[in-house]
Amino acid sequence: MSRKAVFLDKDGTLVEDVPYNVDPEQIRLTVGALEAVRSLHLTDYQLFIITNQSGVARGYFPETALITVEQHLRELFQSVGVPLAGFYYCPHHPDGSVTHYATHCNCRKPQPGLLLRAASQHQIDLNQSWFIGDILHDIQAGRQAGCRTILLDNGNETEWQLSPQRLPHHTVNNLIEAANVIQAIATPPQTDTQLQNNSVSPVPKTPETPPMRSASSPPTLIPSEGVWGKRSSPSRGFGGLPPNARITRNKPCSNP
Ligand SMILES: [Mg+2]
Ligand SMILES: [Zn+2]
């Protein structure tokens, strides 16, 4: 059994964000979600859902309502042959109205508690694992747990309070792109021999003594594109920060 996992935020990442929804009829997967989880499963990642569900603490629905949600998502995964390894939720909120759940906990993202619990219960190596979410609280939780992180830049993050702990390793538009990033990085680079066997022109050997550059030599060009090839802005998470326009966006809180 593989010890590496992809942890998925639920609302806004795996399913369209319908605040405090627990009705399976209203659960809609995001673009390419099933294709992405299938592809990740086939490359040996266990799939987990990690979600804040403060609607329990706020008294909007009972904790038992999440059983139906989990079951529905499990069936959707099974429809493409993917086992859901675990569904982990935080029912708490410090300002909740239901006393039992109105608490500061270590499992509400951006805290990493749910990830740590999942990893412990399933013997997951967090350093080989990934967290995908749609807001920076997800990124912070993933980083604190030791995972690499991917932000779906779909407009749900509105505050962009960045810090080293909240900086995504990669930023993409949907789960398919996220799966592509994970697989590109997880695939070991081919050796020279493999490249030759595949009839790819070998990379010319670097001369032992590099030619001197004269003032008239053209400048050395450094390719600006990485493994994502044609993308105009690969891995925006590292370099380009989101446009300032996003800061002024006013959407409802997507971290219920
Ligand atoms: Mg979310
Ligand atoms: Zn909690």
Does the residue 232 lie in any domain?
yes
Within the chain, where are the H helices?
Answer: 33-42, 65-78, 113-122, 136-145, 175-186, 192-197
For residue 29, give the CATH number of its domain. 3.40.50.1000
Does the residue 205 lie in any domain?
no
Does the residue 194 lie in any domain?
no
Q: How many domains does the chain have?
A: 1
**Residue 254: band (very low, low, confident or very high) from pLDDT cuts 50, 70, 90:** low
Cite the beta strand spans of the chain per DSSP E.
5-9, 46-52, 84-90, 130-133, 148-152, 170-172
pLDDT (0 to 100) of residue 187: 73
- Of the two residues 39 and 256, the one the predictor is more confident about is 39
Taking the centre of ligand 2 as the mean of its atom positions, its distance from the CA of residue 1, in whole angstroms, is 28
**For the CA of 93, the nearest ligand:** 2
Does the residue 34 lie in any domain?
yes
Does the residue 12 lie in any domain?
yes
pLDDT greater than 60 at residue 206: no
pLDDT greater than 90 at residue 179: yes
pLDDT (0 to 100) of residue 186: 79
* Predicted TM-score (pTM) above 0.85: no
Does the residue 208 lie in any domain?
no
Taking only the tens place, the pLDDT of each residue in 40-97 is: 999 999 999 999 999 999 999 999 999 999 999 999 999 999 999 999 999 999 999 9
Does the residue 13 lie in any domain?
yes
**For the CA of 152, the nearest ligand:** 1
**For the CA of 9, the nearest ligand:** 1
Distance, first Cα to last Cα, the chain: 33
pLDDT (0 to 100) of residue 188: 72
pLDDT (0 to 100) of residue 221: 39
Which tokens go with 154?
């779909």
Within 13 Å and on the Cβ side, how many CA atoms surround 50?
32
**Residue 4: band (very low, low, confident or very high) from pLDDT cuts 50, 70, 90:** very high
**For the CA of 113, the nearest ligand:** 2
Does the residue 29 lie in any domain?
yes
Catalytic residue, chosen from 9, 17, 134, 153, is 9
**Which of 108, 215, 237 minimizes the C-alpha distance to 166?**
237
Distance between CA atoms of residues 142 and 165, nearest Å: 9
Taking the centre of ligand 2 as the mean of its atom positions, its distance from the CA of residue 108, in whole angstroms, is 4
pLDDT greater than 80 at residue 203: no
pLDDT (0 to 100) of residue 223: 39
Taking the centre of ligand 2 as the mean of its atom positions, its distance from the CA of residue 103, in whole angstroms, is 8
Taking only the tens place, the pLDDT of each residue in 139-168 is: 999 999 999 999 999 999 999 999 999 999
Taking the centre of ligand 2 as the mean of its atom positions, its distance from the CA of residue 83, in whole angstroms, is 25
pLDDT greater than 90 at residue 192: no
pLDDT greater than 90 at residue 239: no
Taking the centre of ligand 2 as the mean of its atom positions, its distance from the CA of residue 255, in whole angstroms, is 13
Catalytic residue, chosen from 11, 17, 138, 153, is 11
138 is catalytic: no
Taking the centre of ligand 1 as the mean of its atom positions, its distance from the CA of residue 27, in whole angstroms, is 14
Taking only the tens place, the pLDDT of each residue in 5-35 is: 999 999 999 999 999 999 999 999 999 999 9
Taking only the tens place, the pLDDT of each residue in 89-123 is: 999 999 999 999 999 999 999 999 999 999 999 99
pLDDT greater than 50 at residue 249: no
Per-chain residues with Cβ under 5 A from ion ligand 2: 90, 92, 105, 107-108
Domain that holds residue 46: 5-187+227-248
Taking the centre of ligand 2 as the mean of its atom positions, its distance from the CA of residue 203, in whole angstroms, is 52
Q: CA 39: distance to chain centroid?
A: 14
